[in-house]
Amino acid sequence: MDELPPEARALLDAVVAIGSDLDLRGVLTRIVEACCQITDAEFGVLAIVDDDGTFIDLVPNRVVGERFQGIGRMPEGHGLLGLVPSEQRTIRVDHVAAHPVSTGGFPDAHPPIDSFLGAPVLVRGETFGHLYLGNKRGDETFSARDQALVEALAGAAGAMIDNARTFEQVEWRRRWIAGTAEVGGDLSGTVRVQEALDELVVSLRELCNARFVAYVRIDGDQLEIRQIEGDGAAAGRVVERMADTLQHVASSRVPERLVEKHARASLVVPVTTRLAGSGVLLVEKAQETPSLRGVMLDLVAVTATQLGLILDRDQALRDRARLLVAKDRDRIARDLHDLVIQRLFATGMQLQGARSLDVDVLRERVDGAVAELDVAIKELRAAIFELGTGSGRPLLDDVRGLLTEYAVVLGFQPLLRVHGPVDRALVPEAGTHVLTTLREALSNVARHASARSVSVELTASSAWFRLRVSDDGVGFDPATVCPGSGSGNLRSRAEGLGGHLDLASAPGQGTTLEWVIPAVG
């Protein structure tokens, strides 16, 4: 080691120091610090670029890092900063101000730069970022020796960055497997299905560090937010804004990655099912490190497949329950034929044979026939009650149909949000009240609100069922509205079922109606 030239020893020491770290951010920071050390540069930064060459992140040395807050914005790649990526070679400049492509302009808090050395950093032949060094100490300029050392270190750094990226990808996959392995193991019952879906979106949001994750069911123009984790208040606006993209992904079944600012991206992945209808999984503003750009979309797609399997199993269980009901109704029909009709027929035969009997025997025969008829009536009532209490059309199907109907009246498709086992939270009679209330609420919006969007939210818990209708219309002052007008019927209906009505509005701020009844109906 003592026989090595100082330059080679410094370069070897830098490589060893960089290679001792597996964390990608740590590796990048060590690269920048090592380059500053071997060239005696005051300032150093590694600018990471996206697929299209846009600067998405900066890894500074300690001196630059202390000034980041004051600078306050990401460089845009003009002047000398843009010359390195455009020519894909090392650029060394003695005096920045004198260079022909120099813009000469820096942000107010940016330190003045005189000498400059910039070099591309390649990983597997593709540009990962660009290394920029500024102001060699002692008022000197960067030498050919400095350039050779930086180029050698940048070449070695490419392999180290690749290793760190691979490690980060493996670790992310491990976390993904750990977070989703237990989901969907036991799907007996609607509540367990809802819990499994909730666990998936919660785990995915934590992994992606996203603003929110939502499963959006799509039926034509109708968008229905079924599961959501994160910023729920913004989800409705985002889903409406991205409606065309969501519908395109659902129909084409091709995932899309939408690049956002600050190293983030929105991922839209189709959820493919055989029974439960089409939909998409939306991961909004996921935090993409350079390592995860190539794998995050793929693993979100795997999660979407898992979600689709859970939805199909849930739908299969629902279909099986409906088939059992249909089978039970067939049994009731057979019972009507075998018991009631036969009893009526036998009674008729008894009466027919009583024509020739004397009065006392005839009276006894008629009394017996009346008793048989009473029994037949009771059996008919029991059969009719059993048929009437069977599960008919699911409440959600009726709600979707009602929203499609009112889309023509409103001029736009309302957004539907669903939380919990809505279809099984109420008895049919209470479900009828929900539909009537929703129809009246939508009619009020169409007549008075002048709204551009409406959100309908259904929430079912173990104790309560809530219908919330929100619009962005003109609103009103509740103090100026007579107590019995408009909402009187809705309030009476809720109170008759043991619930309540809340109405919130203000001029120019839209209206929110919240209708709550006990879940047992």
Residues 6+ apart with CB under 8 A from 275: 311, 312, 315, 316, 319
Please give the distance of CA 324 from its chain centroid, rounded to a whole number. Answer: 34
Outline where 268-358 has alpha helix (H): 296-335, 342-352
Residue 343 half-sphere exposure, CB side, CA atoms within 13 Å?
17
Q: Give the mean model confidence (pLDDT) for residues 209-214.
A: 89
Q: Which of 256, 313, 264 is nearest to 285 (CA)?
A: 264
Q: Give the mean model confidence (pLDDT) for residues 304-330.
A: 77
Q: Which of 50-64, 209-223, 262-276, 469-483 has the lowest mean pLDDT?
A: 50-64
135-145 pLDDT per residue, tens: 888 888 888 98
Of the pLDDT bands very low, low, confident and very high (cuts 50, 70, 90), residue 470 is: very high
Q: In which residue are the tokens 């491990």 written?
A: 174
Count, in order, helices (H) and strands (E) of the chain: 15, 15
Domains of the chain, residue spans = 6-174, 180-310, 317-388, 395-518
The pair of structure tokens assigned to 282 is: 């939306």
Residue 21's SS3 state is coil
Query: Can you give the pLDDT at residue 357?
Result: 66
Asked if the domains 6-174 and 180-310 are classified in one and the same CATH topology, the answer is yes
Strand 212-219 versus strand 279-287 pairing type:
antiparallel
Q: What architecture is domain 6-174? A: 2-Layer Sandwich (3.30)
90/52: higher pLDDT: 90
The domain made up of 180-310 has a fold known as: Beta-Lactamase (3.30.450)
Query: Can you give the pLDDT at residue 342?
Result: 62
The domain made up of 395-518 has a fold known as: Heat Shock Protein 90 (3.30.565)
Q: What is the dihedral sign for C-alpha 159, 164, 169, 174?
A: positive
- DSSP states of 157-206: HHHHHHHHHHHHHHHHHHHHHHHHTTTTS---SHHHHHHHHHHHHHHHHH
The pair of structure tokens assigned to 114 is: 């005189």
Of the pLDDT bands very low, low, confident and very high (cuts 50, 70, 90), residue 1 is: very low
Q: Are 44 and 61 in contact (CB under 8 A)?
A: yes
Q: Are 158 and 128 in contact (CB under 8 A)?
A: yes
Sort residue 277 into left (φ over 0), alpha (ψ -120 to 50) or beta.
Answer: left
Q: Which of 473, 467, 503 is nearest to 411 (CA)?
A: 473
Q: Are 115 and 96 in contact (CB under 8 A)?
A: yes
Outline where 353-427 has alpha helix (H): 359-388, 395-410
Please say if the pLDDT value at position 379 is more than 50: yes
Q: Give the mean model confidence (pLDDT) for residues 461-468.
A: 89
Please report, for residues 42, 43, 64, 131, the alpha-carbon distance to residue 71 in angstroms, rounded to integers and kept in the order given: 17, 14, 10, 18
Across all residues in the chain, what is the average pLDDT?
Answer: 79
Q: Are 67 and 109 in contact (CB under 8 A)?
A: yes
